[in-house]
Amino acid sequence: MDDKSASFTRLSQTEFGTMPETGEKVMLYTLRNRNGMEMSVMNYGGIIVSVRVPDKSGRVEEVTLGYDSLEAYIRNNPYFGAIIGRYGNRISNGSFTLEGRKYTLPANDGTNQLHGGPKGFDKVYWNIAVADDSSSLKLTYHSPHGEQGYPGNLSAEVQYALTDDNEIRIDYKAATDKATVVNLTNHTYFNLTGDPSRNTILDHTLQISADSFLPVDQRLIPTGKLQPVSGTPFDFNTPAVIGQRIEDDNEQLKMGGGYDHCWVIRNHDGSLRKVATLTESRSGRKMDVLTTEPGIQFYSGNFLNASIVARQGPCGKRAALCLETQHFPDSPNKPSFPSVVLKPGETYTSTTVYKFSVVE
């Protein structure tokens, strides 16, 4: 398929709904490449609504969880495909101290704040501009001082690009007028089989380039220590089938109800490089994850359940997984972790790439 084909359209737009409080029109933008791959994004939450990818036979199928209506996302969305901010993952006791001042955040995960709070970036309206060549989308959002308890007026920008190499590239950027904390990520749920209503992610094979991970307490807050993965079910340096380990008699697996932990990327230097690979043998699909971030949160869909009915049907436990590139959870309260502080005059930047292919 090439650009001159009458059947090929790089970008299309359709109306997806209306924001209930403001009346703003929500549009669905669908990017396509020459290989038949598609990615759809909407204004609400900057959500990746759909990703359709060819398998080893060339059959294009959906590989993410999502809904077919805006109403469903507003009613019950376990962060399907969303931009997460200001702070991805958990902040202990919904508070942190910055430059001598304590900030209290609204809790939405027991005593913790999770993924930016009750109305994080996943639930706000993002302005979307289409690139001149229709290969990417630039999303922008202004988060006012005090929103969800965070200091500073924050200008956030996220660019989604779909390349002809079957890459989804996500570039994050942010600036503030007052010292704050920032940790942006994306929460897309993947199942490479193309049918998550019938096939879980337990037969997927995962590889993660990490010598250690962050053990958590009963609230899923990191203890602050780094634990070697060697000799544990957390060692994915050699590709391993997820289902062969997830039920191991391991205290940390029991704590999270499965995998819901952050791996510490080996030899992190801020450059963009491959940190994980996910494969599924029946479809032959493969997804490499590249990032500039120091950590990757592997979440094995432990809290999904049949009451969540996505476009493909009920989403039972482990119907899909997330590989969220990010700084470490609870970093604002862990001085030994890499800093997440952003100050006036600085620019927060981060890049992640999800590259799809088929197993050779």
Length of the chain equals 360
d(CA 98, CA 149): 12
| pLDDT value of position 21 | 86
d(CA 79, CA 76): 9
Give the bridge partners for 19, in sequence order.
none
Residue 235 half-sphere exposure toward CB, CA atoms < 13 A:
6
Segments of the chain with pLDDT less than 70: 1-7
User: Among residues 128, 107, 125, 130, which one has the least CA distance to residue 117?
Assistant: 107
pLDDT in tens, 11-67: 999 999 999 989 999 999 999 999 999 999 999 999 999 999 999 999 999 999 999
d(CA 238, CA 208): 8
pLDDT in tens, 208-217: 999 999 999 9
d(CA 263, CA 276): 10
Catalytic positions are 187, 324
Other Cβ atoms less than 10 A from the Cβ of 142: the count is 11
| pLDDT value of position 7 | 61
Residue extents of the structural domains in the chain: 11-358
| pLDDT value of position 360 | 77
d(CA 159, CA 180): 22
Other Cβ atoms less than 10 A from the Cβ of 270: the count is 12
User: Among residues 66, 4, 15, which one has the least CA distance to residue 38?
Assistant: 66
Return the CATH fold of 11-358.
Beta-galactosidase; Chain A, domain 5 (2.70.98)
| pLDDT value of position 166 | 98
